[in-house]
Structure 1
Amino acid sequence: MAVSTSTLDLTTMRSRLDRLRAEASRAGVAALVVAPGSDLRYLTGIGGSSFERLTALVVPTDEAAAPVFVSPALEYAGLGHVPLEDLGVEVRTWVDGEDPYALALGGVPSGRVAVSDLLPALHLLRLRDAGAADQQLAGPVLRELRMRKDDAELAELRSAGAAIDRVHARVGEWLRAGRTEAEVAADIAAAIVEEGHALAEFVIVGSGPNGASPHHSVSDRVIERGDLVVVDIGGPLPSGYNSDSTRTYAVDAPREPDVASAYAALRAAQQAAVAAVRPGATCQDVDRAARAVLADAGLAEHFIHRTGHGIGLDVHEEPYVVEGNDLPLEPGMTFSIEPGVYLSARWGARIEDIVAVTDDGVERFNARPTDLVVQ
């Protein structure tokens, strides 16, 4: 279902559509089919997600062919104030019983069609049956636009980072022995909204042995004295741009004897990775910077995920900071730096900040201290 969330001005939307066509032309595709989701929101300000009735923006590479926005008539009524016609986009609405796939492809030049990465198979296969048989993913085209944030996007991500920092600053209000992870998470989720987010997209509270599972979420485990607790939280601002930050807390002095040395190495690894961020360095250079510190400390096998992921309108998007990704960093790229140490069935710890590549280095969007926070 598509919903209007547009805060984009006409000039920005026109520029993004023009750049999309240029990138699509370089990729050798005849048209792109962009379904509801973050890509469509990036281009037009229209949010929402796909459902069984087709909604899509179809953008031919040929500038002589107008882009087409196909929408169920019952949905388009809520989108009428988005200035699609002013962008030169032809609006085609349809009602139940009509064929939206033929409507979407009408007038599209023959050739390869790039489709949204998360377009449901329900629509993908019917587009194929309607004539778009030569398909590829649109992600490689769209990433060339979305990886490099403009000034307005960077401002939103700074605001998101400051908002989630305010939540981390309050964790001591709720995190204490005798409470369950779920109880602490509920308070954190409420604070995420109180501090300016549209919603709490995710709240991980991993205490004791649960902290050794990077994507644990929450449980009814009662937090105990001596526990380490991994708190990984984030969500979108009303603009759609996301926060994502992790800090590790200790409820009284940690009971495990190896925490102090391992956490010191983790903190050094996170700082080394942040320091490695600069234009021209590659994503894998940053990953290697974190991994080398932990390897020197004998902890390499306990760092079991990539160092980071891009962030913007999606919590996870390109670029990915991982071994094998030799993509050079450029100003405007934004991503997490989040090494972790996970000792199975014992404890875990992670430190995560969002950073941006600047003209001459790096800017952190999270300002909370990275030392182990003892409650």
Structure 2
Amino acid sequence: MTAGSWTDRLDRARAAASAAGIDALLVSPGADLRYLTGYDAHPLERLTCLVLPAGNAAGEPFLVVPALEKPAAEASPAGSLGIGITGWDETDDPYALVAARLPRALTRVALDNRMWAEKALAFRAALPGAEQVLAGQVLYGLRARKTPEEAEALRRAGQAIDRVHSRMGEWLRPGRTEREVARDIADAIIAEGHVRVDFVIVGSGPNGASPHHEVSDRVVEAGDPVVVDIGGTTEEGYCSDSTRVYALGEPPEEFLRLYEVLLRAQRAQTDAVRPGLRAHELDAIGRDVITEAGYGPYFIHRTGHGIGLESHEEPYIVAGNQLPLEPGMAFSVEPGIYLPGRYGARIEDIVICAEDGGERLNRTGRELVVLP
């Protein structure tokens, strides 16, 4: 990204904060700080904080960092944005430093949603006249609508994780433990284009009925259905996430019937994505298919989550969410059916809402993959 792109994000965040009646945004290390400045700061006990006064007439943005972290901040994209980077020494009070540079008449400040409690409370003490609110009401709306450049980064992440799924036959076979398979998958996630492994779920047989099982020392057996849910982060900072189901030889007949229902539901959902459709409506499309087939009580989680600089972010595709889908929104579509003590299945694709529908970023086949 160019410096102009980061500056545009800062300007849009300041304008959105002003429109929301917020006097300043206070952003600590995490995805919000990376989104606004490109600075991937370490989340330390020492305060690092981007201060964004709202509106163009309220003062200039500045970044407060521990003195020993100042060279790293200046070397990041934040160093080329023209914002002041102030280092503070070990004996300084960084919260008082921030308060002294903000207008005295502050009434509302917004803290990023992931700010540590000890830092939020320290800001409350340093700014006693200001109400504290969550910055997510401003920043999540900006982050949820991906730019064309962000969409392309997510496409590359999706292609990278697809390459891992396409190699599953190299590692997944009877006689190996879930943990052994997961180690090989993790190595492949890095080899195929990620810089970090975010998660590896290998749920074989009855373990597949636990959506977030991760791995165990269970030995994979012939006939087992196996849920493989994997994701990582690329060098560009964007995440991948995709789930496919494999079978080690022919699975039980009931599992095949269950899987056919699940595949029908997931296809109906991905085909339905379009601007204006509300998040809860998309959830209901797949849930209704699964419920009509008698498996409703076994679809026990939301349909999906947004994805970008974090593997889980806005928007959430869940019952009750009235948010209309908009072009640029990227999210997972991952219905599942889980029969406790027996087996489970989940199919997950990342989808971007476009002007004329939805674009599925994961292109590996969604049919059950039967491995020899």
The bucket for the TM-score relative to the shorter chain is over 0.9
Q: 41-50 vs 297-306, which deviates more?
A: 41-50
Match of 2:66 in 1: 72
Asked if the contact 2:38–2:77 (Cα under 8 Å) also holds between the matched residues in 1, the reply is no
Match of 1:20 in 2: 13
SS at match of 1:145: helix
Provide the C-alpha distance between the structure 2 equivalents of 1:82 and 1:236, rounded to a whole number of angstroms.
18
Match of 1:169 in 2: 166
* Equivalent of 2:278 in 256, 266, 282: 282
Gap regions ≥5 residues in structure 1: 1-7
CA gap of 1:61–1:371, structure 2 versus 1, over 3 A, is same
User: Is 2:235 the counterpart of 1:242?
Assistant: no
Moved over 6 A (4+): none
User: Is 2:207 the counterpart of 1:183?
Assistant: no
SS at match of 2:338: strand
Match of 2:89 in 1: 95
Provide the C-alpha distance between the structure 1 equivalents of 2:41 and 2:248, rounded to a whole number of angstroms.
40
Provide the C-alpha distance between the structure 2 equivalents of 1:283 and 1:215, rounded to a whole number of angstroms.
23
How large is the Cα RMSD of the aligned pairs? 1.1
5 Å-filtered alignment, 1:101-120, equals 101-109=95-103, 110-120=106-116
1:166-213 Cα offsets, whole Å, 9 max, x none, are 000000000000000000000000000000000211000000110000
SS at match of 1:201: strand
Deviation at 1:285, TM superposition (A): 1.1
Amino acid at match of 2:29: P
CA gap of 1:337–1:318, structure 2 versus 1, over 3 A, is same
CA gap of 1:62–1:88, structure 2 versus 1, over 3 A, is farther
* Equivalent of 1:356 in 352, 357, 371: 352
Asked if the contact 1:40–1:47 (Cα under 8 Å) also holds between the matched residues in 2, the reply is yes
Deviation at 1:86, TM superposition (A): 5.1
Provide the C-alpha distance between the structure 2 equivalents of 1:263 and 1:111, rounded to a whole number of angstroms.
54
1:283-324 Cα offsets, whole Å, 9 max, x none, are 111100110110111010000000000000000000000011
Match of 2:207 in 1: 210
Asked if the contact 1:50–1:119 (Cα under 8 Å) also holds between the matched residues in 2, the reply is no
Match of 1:229 in 2: 226
SS at match of 1:93: strand
Provide the C-alpha distance between the structure 1 equivalents of 2:156 and 2:176, rounded to a whole number of angstroms.
31
Amino acid at match of 1:14: T
* Equivalent of 1:367 in 360, 363, 367: 363
CA gap of 1:188–1:85, structure 2 versus 1, over 3 A, is closer
Provide the C-alpha distance between the structure 2 equivalents of 1:83 and 1:155, rounded to a whole number of angstroms.
20
User: Is 2:247 the counterpart of 1:257?
Assistant: no
Asked if the contact 1:162–1:365 (Cα under 8 Å) also holds between the matched residues in 2, the reply is yes
Amino acid at match of 2:101: G
Amino acid at match of 1:213: S
TM norm structure 1: 0.96
Deviation at 1:122, TM superposition (A): 1.3
Deviation at 1:360, TM superposition (A): 0.7
Deviation at 1:84, TM superposition (A): 4.2
Provide the C-alpha distance between the structure 1 equivalents of 2:10 and 2:362, rounded to a whole number of angstroms.
32
Deviation at 1:51, TM superposition (A): 1.5
Amino acid at match of 2:366: T
Match of 1:5 in 2: none
Provide the C-alpha distance between the structure 2 equivalents of 1:324 and 1:49, rounded to a whole number of angstroms.
36
SS at match of 2:146: coil
Deviation at 1:275, TM superposition (A): 1.3
Provide the C-alpha distance between the structure 2 equivalents of 1:106 and 1:247, rounded to a whole number of angstroms.
53
Amino acid at match of 2:64: V
Identical aligned pairs, as a percentage? 55
Provide the C-alpha distance between the structure 1 equivalents of 2:189 and 2:55, rounded to a whole number of angstroms.
44
Q: 200-209 vs 129-138, which deviates more?
A: 129-138
Provide the C-alpha distance between the structure 2 equivalents of 1:363 and 1:83, rounded to a whole number of angstroms.
30
Match of 1:333 in 2: 329
Gap regions ≥5 residues in structure 2: none
Provide the C-alpha distance between the structure 2 equivalents of 1:237 and 1:85, rounded to a whole number of angstroms.
22
* Equivalent of 2:299 in 298, 303, 314: 303
Provide the C-alpha distance between the structure 1 equivalents of 2:311 and 2:107, rounded to a whole number of angstroms.
33
Provide the C-alpha distance between the structure 2 equivalents of 1:193 and 1:91, rounded to a whole number of angstroms.
33
SS at match of 2:40: strand
Asked if the contact 2:239–2:311 (Cα under 8 Å) also holds between the matched residues in 1, the reply is yes
Asked if the contact 1:307–1:321 (Cα under 8 Å) also holds between the matched residues in 2, the reply is yes
5 Å-filtered alignment, 1:2-41, equals 8-41=1-34
Match of 2:343 in 1: 347
Provide the C-alpha distance between the structure 1 equivalents of 2:188 and 2:79, rounded to a whole number of angstroms.
40
SS at match of 1:32: strand
Asked if the contact 2:39–2:78 (Cα under 8 Å) also holds between the matched residues in 1, the reply is no
SS at match of 1:370: coil
Match of 1:193 in 2: 190
1:215-259 Cα offsets, whole Å, 9 max, x none, are 0000000001111100000010001100000000001111x3311
Asked if the contact 2:298–2:337 (Cα under 8 Å) also holds between the matched residues in 1, the reply is yes
Provide the C-alpha distance between the structure 2 equivalents of 1:78 and 1:356, rounded to a whole number of angstroms.
34
Deviation at 1:30, TM superposition (A): 0.5
Asked if the contact 2:238–2:310 (Cα under 8 Å) also holds between the matched residues in 1, the reply is yes
